[in-house]
Amino acid sequence: MVRRTKEEAARTRSRIMDAAVDVFFDRGVANATLNEIASQANVTRGAIYWHFKNKLDVFDALNDRLQLNFADTILADLRNDHPHPLLQLERMCADLLIDLENNLDKFKVLSILFLKSDYTGEMEPYLDLQNARKKQSIELFSEYFARAKKHKHLLADVDTRVLSMALLSYITGIVVDYLRDPGSLVMREHAPKFMRLFFRNLG
Amino acid sequence: MVRRTKEEAARTRSRIMDAAVDVFFDRGVANATLNEIASQANVTRGAIYWHFKNKLDVFDALNDRLQLNFADTILADLRNDHPHPLLQLERMCADLLIDLENNLDKFKVLSILFLKSDYTGEMEPYLDLQNARKKQSIELFSEYFARAKKHKHLLADVDTRVLSMALLSYITGIVVDYLRDPGSLVMREHAPKFMRLFFRNLG
DNA sequence: GATTATACATTCGTAGTTGTTTGTTTTCGA
DNA sequence: TCGAAAACAAACAACTACGAATGTATAATC
């Protein structure tokens, strides 16, 4: 059995990536071997080397597929003017956290990005990439908070840039703590409380 | 040259650990080889295998030496009653963050624990250990906040447990974001602002 | 319907790492 | 002071994973 149709080949490729998610999650990116990924995907290493250059290239593909771009997801929702923009943001952040609990794939991929990669050597550029994306998010939030301030929805004395950095770090921390110990809290219950704590004093 | 005195042997051991910090930081725990650690410490692998069982055992020793126990460091300071306990806590957290900027060794070790380890396979127990320590910290903070609430320093309607979890996650996030991109902020300036944002609405 | 390129499987050589063993020298304890 | 063990260095053996090369059967193309 060889030489599948193009569609089958594409499915093979995505099966390899799915397998990579599992293996990276279970064994860490550095420890994961192409053999493990191959057998998890029910192919041989040959198939992986056909579709990808090497392990890093697989990671690269995963990175693309994830679209960790908070920005894109959030921006769309932020575009339309909401009567109470801060509340809107608060809800969105909570939903984003709760989604981690329901979406196993997102949980695994975020685990890979935050816990299972060391970003040394050839992987360093991917950290830079994530940091660049984060800067984008900061700018986005800053602008958003600035608008809220103009509309008197936000206290005038807060530094919007510091505020958005703080919010993003807050979310990062909640995510990381959750990934490191998923049993320690129930997102559906805790996320709204966490967010309330942060937003209660801004209005 | 062999068979040093006991003191010299102890120094060799700690030199190996120092080297391990550098190598783990630069290459990640999983990618780091004992050869790299050895040459960084100006010894051979034989020396490492004399002092440690294997790479994991070196990591274990590092884990012990760090005493990431926020608890111990903080507990001592929290013991004595402060006129304004929340302000005290706020300052302490800020100082803790600022220390990251000045103390390179702490920066590296925290990087190793948060970014350079995947905690898979044999390393899993160390994540459990850290999570257990974190639970301790939560309990500690909870109790502390509860005291503050009794003294009317804290709003009565906040859940102290959720509050301490939130604070710890907040700190985790700031730390992780800083470790991932140290150039993005200056702790001496930002840490007090971050903390002020969190504490301003509690009193 | 022959040819070519595709989509893999299989095999191979190699470099790197690990754990172990052996060797050597010096310090410590009796 | 004299063995015994400490504190390593050096050599060895085994495995593993990688990358590349090769093989091969089928789909696409004409």
pLDDT 10s digits, B87-108 = 888 999 999 999 999 999 999 9
B97 plus B187 within the same structural domain = yes
Residue A153 is assigned to a structural domain of this protein:
yes
A38 plus A120 within the same structural domain = no
Task: Look at A176 and B173 and tell me if their CB atoms are within 8 Å.
Answer: yes
A13 plus A76 within the same structural domain = no
A78 plus A120 within the same structural domain = yes
Q: Under DSSP, is residue B177 helix (H, G, I), strand (E, B) or coil?
A: helix
Total domain count, chain A = 2
B84 touches strand C (CB under 7 A): no
B59 plus B103 within the same structural domain = no
Q: Looking at B64, B79, B94, which one is the last position of a domain?
A: B64
Tell me how far apart the alpha carbons of residues B155 and B149 are, in angstroms, rounded to a whole number.
6
Q: Looking at B47, B64, B81, which one is the last position of a domain?
A: B64
B184 plus B84 within the same structural domain = yes
Percent of residues, chain B, with pLDDT higher than 90: 69
Nearest to A160 by CA among A180, A173, A177, A143: A143
A142 plus A98 within the same structural domain = yes
* Higher local confidence (pLDDT), B36 or A84: B36
**C26 C1': nearest CA residue:** B3
Residue B18 is assigned to a structural domain of this protein:
yes
A76 plus A168 within the same structural domain = yes
Residue B1 is assigned to a structural domain of this protein:
no
B80 plus B40 within the same structural domain = no
B110 plus B14 within the same structural domain = no
**Residue A4 pLDDT:** 77
**A44's tokens:** 């041989």
A54 touches strand D (CB under 7 A): yes
Q: Looking at B45, B64, B83, which one is the last position of a domain?
A: B64
- pLDDT tens per residue, range A2-27: 667 888 889 999 999 999 999 999 99
If you average pLDDT over residues B79-86, what whole number do you get? 80
A54 touches strand C (CB under 7 A): no
Look up the CATH number of the domain holding residue A108.
Answer: 1.10.357.10
A50 touches strand D (CB under 7 A): no
Angle formed by the axes of helices A160-180 and B124-150, nearest 10°: 130
Q: Which nucleotides of D are covered by protein (CB under 7 A)?
A: 5-11, 16-28
**D20 C1': nearest CA residue:** A49
- pLDDT tens per residue, range A126-155: 999 999 999 998 998 898 898 888 888 888
**Residue A37 pLDDT:** 97
Tell me how far apart the alpha carbons of residues B27 and B61 are, in angstroms, rounded to a whole number.
18
Which one-letter amino acid corresponds to residue A192?
A: P
Average pLDDT, chain A: 91
B89 plus B182 within the same structural domain = yes
Residue B182 is assigned to a structural domain of this protein:
yes
**C22 C1': nearest CA residue:** B46
Measured CA distances, B161 to A3, B58, B88, B115, B193 (Å):
59, 35, 19, 27, 23
Q: Is A1 a residue whose pLDDT tops 60?
A: no
Residue A1 is assigned to a structural domain of this protein:
no
Task: Look at A118 and B120 and tell me if their CB atoms are within 8 Å.
Answer: no
B40 touches strand D (CB under 7 A): no
A73 plus A122 within the same structural domain = yes
**B46 and chain A: CB distance < 8 Å anywhere?**
no
If you average pLDDT over residues B185-195, what whole number do you get? 98
By residue range, what is the domain housing residue B183? 67-199
Q: How many angstroms separate the CA of A15 from the C1' of C2? A: 34
For residue B130, list chain A residues with Cβ-Cβ distance below 8 A: 180
